[in-house]
């Protein structure tokens, strides 16, 4: 029998007849049901295997979908590309033990013929390129089965395509480091064990943050791509906390912690058979570093970069320092002198460093030489040790100065970059940054004066009956007060001396000046005491200090005691009354003329003159006083009264009637009882007018 289908079961029915010929009828017999024989045509053709698709959905598997036109078993196996795995055979493909069934419902995995079935090749290496081959064998009931020939096995490879197993491991850094490149920038250098994108963010080391969440790192938006361990390093420049120009730049000379996170560029490979080869596509299946890796130190010390091909332990880089190439800025707050030999300057610095100050009696040229002088012994300095103390007041005491002297204080500063950057900056700095000296106060400042002045009494004299004049000197500008007490009386207190209000001020030291003590009693013995106060701390030469001065103490006041006897009577007697009265008319022609003084008087030398309005005057020599002689009138002095008596001299008076007469005498004609050099009295134009009708005034 021919024309049958291969690999098909048939029921064979037979019919037989004899050879009777016409007119005889042949005798025939056919199989009964019991006689039916079931046989299969032979299967000499291997199964037809159709590749549908292949993919690597997990890191250890490649999964191939196939269809087969007859029942049998499908085998697939993957060989690492680039290795000497030889020419695949049915034995090497089926030897992996990765198989599926077609047409065997009781086996698994299974599918009907001409329906997709998946063969899973497992136990593969992650992220590795593989060449995959499939083979099949039918399930004939004949003594032999048909296997795919080698040529067909080899043809499955291009239909499946070259596949890389899925990368399911997050990347790790194989190289990582960070260093400050400018005052406001930190540069991170990195490599990954595979192609990756790294993100980094900084936070100040003194912020207290020991962890930065991945979301915050991503928000900073500082990133770079790197192509894997075999490729060049990549860098990320961090200029701000986040990549936002509205934010402040990083601070100079500041320690920062850098947190880096990365993801790989993993993709899943899928291939679809398209004769004569496969069409392969990929789609992203990124793997991400976890938070623990981000928060684990990278294993080095900045600014060094650490390399380890097996991977670094983490992405946290502690204490990355930005360089400082700017000199510190000095802020003057105030200055004061709290003692006679020093000036204390209060300053602020805008960064850690050391400030130096010195005082000069004249202004200086600001240059490098002055900086050297400020930093050369004797050194007056103070140090800001850390960033927590910037813009905070600190004091520098400049000592060894002269009391109450005007000084100009200059201050300079240097930061601590030489020390701070020695191990944190690459390349390390060779010196600190130095700020040129600055004059703190253009007007200068006087040192404090806490010492009272020294009083030197030069002389004392009484130049009038009620005064005593003290000539004295002070060793500095100031004010002196003096007062007097009766001889042997208790010395006055300082308050009593000042309250007497006899004072004088001197603006220059060691210069004679006088204080006049008034309201004394003439011809009396006194003890004179003086007190002094300086101007306090000077604010400028010749100007009022405007602050309390220093008073000498009581012991020093006692050293100023000087004895003085006030001048005796040196005041001329003054007229108390005159008779006849001034400008009196109707006076008799021979009057008794009297003058009463305020003190006892005596005759001096010269004349008492009676002068008519017209005509010659009449002079009477004062030496005739109390002589009883009419010359032409009798003159007498009794205690305070001077008398010129015309009434007892002659029958007629030489004083013309109806005439105005004036009585006068020059100084020295009448004196008081003191030395003639003092107390001289003069009288001019005492006017009287005798009557015209009678010889008497």
Contacts with 97 (C-beta within 8 Å, 6 or more apart), sequence order:
none
Mean predicted lDDT score pLDDT of the chain: 90
Res. 684: pLDDT tops 60:
no
| Cα of 589 vs its chain's centroid, Å | 106
User: What percent of the chain clears pLDDT 90, i.e. is strictly above it?
Assistant: 75
What is the second-level CATH architecture of the domain 330-446? Answer: Sandwich (2.60)
pLDDT at residue 677, as a whole number: 36
Binning pLDDT at 50, 70 and 90, where does residue 511 land?
A: very high
Residue 547 has what pLDDT?
65
Q: What is the DSSP string of 136-171?
A: EEE--SSSS--BPPHHHHHHHHHHH--EE----S--
Q: Which residue has the higher pLDDT, 139 or 156?
A: 156
The predicted pLDDT at position 142 comes to: 66
* C-alpha torsion sign, points 483, 485, 489, 493: negative
DSSP labels, 250-318? PPTT-EEEEEEEEEE--EEEEEEEETTEEEEEEEE---B--HHHHTSB-SS-TTPPEE-TT--S-SEEE
Neighbours of 551 (CB within 10 A): 17
Note the pLDDT of residue 544. 54
Is the pLDDT at 543 greater than 60? The verdict is no
What pLDDT score was predicted for residue 279? Answer: 93
User: In the predicted model, is pLDDT for residue 689 greater than 50?
Assistant: no
CATH for 455-565 is 2.60.40
Residue 108: pLDDT over 60: yes
List the end-to-end C-alpha distance of the chain, in Å, as a whole number: 212
Q: Flag the least confident range among 209-218, 330-339, 464-473, 580-589.
A: 580-589
The pLDDT score that the predictor gives to residue 674 is: 63
Specify the pLDDT at position 141. Answer: 64
Q: CA-CA distance, 78 to 81, in Å (whole number)?
A: 9
Helices and strands in the chain, H and E counts: 8, 47
Answer whether CATH 2.60.40 is correct for domain 49-164: yes
Please tell me which of 137-151, 408-422, 678-692 the model is most confident about, judged by mean pLDDT.
408-422
Compute the average pLDDT of residues 562-575: 87
Chain length of the chain = 697
Give the pLDDT of residue 176. Answer: 98
Least confident stretch, 174-178, 393-397, 657-661: 657-661
- The pLDDT of residue 658 is 84
Q: Which of 69-73, 204-208, 291-295, 648-652 has the lowest mean pLDDT?
A: 648-652
> What is the Cα–Cα distance from 697 to 692, expressed in whole angstroms?
9
Strands (DSSP E) found in 416-454: 434-439, 445-446
> Which tens digit of pLDDT belongs to each residue from 293-342?
999 999 999 999 999 999 999 999 999 999 999 999 999 999 999 899 99
pLDDT of 61 > 90? The answer is: yes
Structure confidence by residue, pLDDT tens digits, 23-43: 778 887 887 877 787 777 767
CATH 2.60.40.1220 region(s) of the chain? Answer: 575-690
pLDDT digits (tens, 9 = 90+) for 249-284: 999 999 999 999 999 999 999 999 987 789 999 999
**What pairs with residue 180 in β-bridges?**
186
Question: What pLDDT digit, counting tens, does each position of 389-429 carry?
Answer: 999 999 999 999 998 899 999 999 999 999 999 999 999 99
Q: How far apart are CA 111 and CA 65, in angstroms?
A: 11
DSSP letter at 246 equals T
Given a cut of 50, whether residue 675 has pLDDT beyond it is: no
| Whether residue 387 has pLDDT greater than 70 | yes
pLDDT at 680 over 60: no
The answer to whether residues 56 and 63 touch, using CB atoms and an 8 Å cutoff, is yes
Per DSSP, what are the bridge partners of residue 504? 480
CATH code of 575-690, in short, is: 2.60.40.1220
Where is pLDDT greater, at 229 or 37? 229
pLDDT at 231 over 90: yes
Residue 653 has pLDDT above 90, yes or no: no
């Amino acid at each position: 029998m021919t024309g049958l289908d291969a690999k098909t079961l048939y029921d064979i029915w037979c019919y037989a007849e004899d050879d009777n010929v016409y007119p005889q009828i042949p005798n025939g017999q056919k199989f009964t049901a019991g006689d039916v024989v079931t046989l299969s045509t032979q299967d000499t053709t291997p199964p037809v295997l159709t590749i549908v698709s292949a993919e690597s959905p997990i890191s250890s598997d490649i999964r191939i979908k196939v269809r087969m036109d007859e029942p049998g078993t499908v085998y697939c196996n993957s060989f690492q590309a680039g290795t000497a795995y030889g020419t695949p055979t049915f034995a090497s493909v089926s030897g992996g033990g990765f198989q599926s069934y077609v047409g065997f419902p009781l086996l698994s995995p299974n599918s009907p013929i001409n329906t997709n079935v998946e063969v899973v090749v497992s136990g593969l290496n992650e992220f590795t390129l593989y060449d995959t081959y499939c083979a099949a064998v039918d399930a004939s009931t004949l003594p032999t089965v048909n296997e795919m020939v080698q040529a067909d096995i080899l043809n499955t490879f291009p239909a499946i395509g070259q596949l890389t197993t899925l990368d399911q491991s997050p990347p790790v850094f194989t190289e990582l480091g960070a260093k400050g490149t400018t005052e406001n920038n930190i540069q991170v250098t990195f490599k990954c064990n595979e192609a990756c994108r790294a993100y980094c963010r900084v936070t100040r080391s003194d912020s207290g943050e020991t962890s930065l969440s991945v979301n915050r790192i991503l928000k900073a938006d500082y990133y770079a791509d790197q192509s894997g361990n075999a490729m060049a390093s990549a860098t990320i420049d961090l200029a701000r906390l986040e990549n936002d120009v509205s934010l402040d730049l990083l601070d100079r000379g500041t320690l920062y912690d850098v947190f880096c996170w990365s993801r790989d560029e993993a993709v899943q490979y899928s291939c679809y058979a398209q004769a004569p080869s496969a069409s392969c596509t990929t789609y992203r299946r990124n793997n991400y570093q976890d938070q623990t890796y981000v928060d684990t130190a990278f294993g080095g010390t900045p600014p060094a970069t650490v390399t380890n091909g097996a991977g670094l332990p983490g992405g946290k880089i502690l204490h990355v320092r930005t360089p400082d190439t700017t000199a510190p800025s000095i802020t003057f707050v105030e200055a004061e002198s709290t003692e006679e030999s020093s000036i204390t300057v209060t300053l602020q610095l805008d960064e850690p460093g050391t400030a130096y100050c010195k005082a000069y009696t004249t202004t200086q040229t600001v240059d490098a030489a002055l900086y050297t002088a400020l930093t050369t012994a004797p050194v007056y300095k103070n140090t800001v040790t850390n960033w927590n103390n910037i813009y905070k007041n600190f004091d520098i005491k400049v000592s060894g100065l002269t009391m109450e002297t005007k000084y100009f204080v200059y201050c300079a500063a240097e930061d601590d970059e030489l020390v701070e950057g020695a191990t944190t900056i690459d390349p390390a700095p060779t010196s600190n940054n130095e700020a040129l000296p600055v004059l703190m106060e253009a007007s200068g400042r006087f040192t404090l004066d806490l010492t009272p002045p020294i009083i030197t009494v030069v002389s004392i004299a009484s130049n009038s009956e009620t005064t005593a004049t003290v000539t004295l000197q002070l060793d500095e500008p100031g004010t002196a007060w003096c007062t007097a007490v009766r001889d042997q009386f208790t010395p006055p207190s300082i308050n009593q001396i000042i309250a007497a209000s006899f004072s004088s001020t001197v603006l220059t030291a060691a210069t004679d000046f006088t204080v006049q003590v008034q309201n004394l009693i003439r011809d009396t013995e006194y003890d004179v005491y003086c007190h002094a106060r300086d101007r306090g701390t000077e604010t400028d030469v010749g100007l009022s200090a405007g602050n309390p001065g220093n008073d000498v103490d009581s012991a020093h006041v006692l050293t100023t005691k000087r004895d003085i006897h006030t001048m005796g009577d040196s005041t001329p007697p003054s007229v108390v009354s005159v008779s006849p009265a001034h400008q009196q008319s109707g006076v008799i022609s021979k009057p008794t003329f009297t003058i009463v003084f305020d003190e006892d008087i005596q005759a001096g030398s010269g004349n008492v003159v009676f002068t008519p309005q017209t005509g010659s005057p009449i002079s009477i020599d004062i030496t005739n006083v109390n002589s009883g002689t009419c010359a032409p009138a009798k003159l007498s002095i009794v205690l305070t009264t001077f008398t010129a008596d015309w009434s007892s001299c002659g029958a007629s008076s030489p004083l013309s009637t109806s005439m105005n007469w004036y009585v006068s005498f020059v100084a020295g004609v009448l004196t008081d009882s003191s030395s003639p050099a003092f107390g001289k009295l003069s009288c001019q134009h005492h006017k009287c007018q005798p009557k015209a009708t009678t010889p008497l005034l």
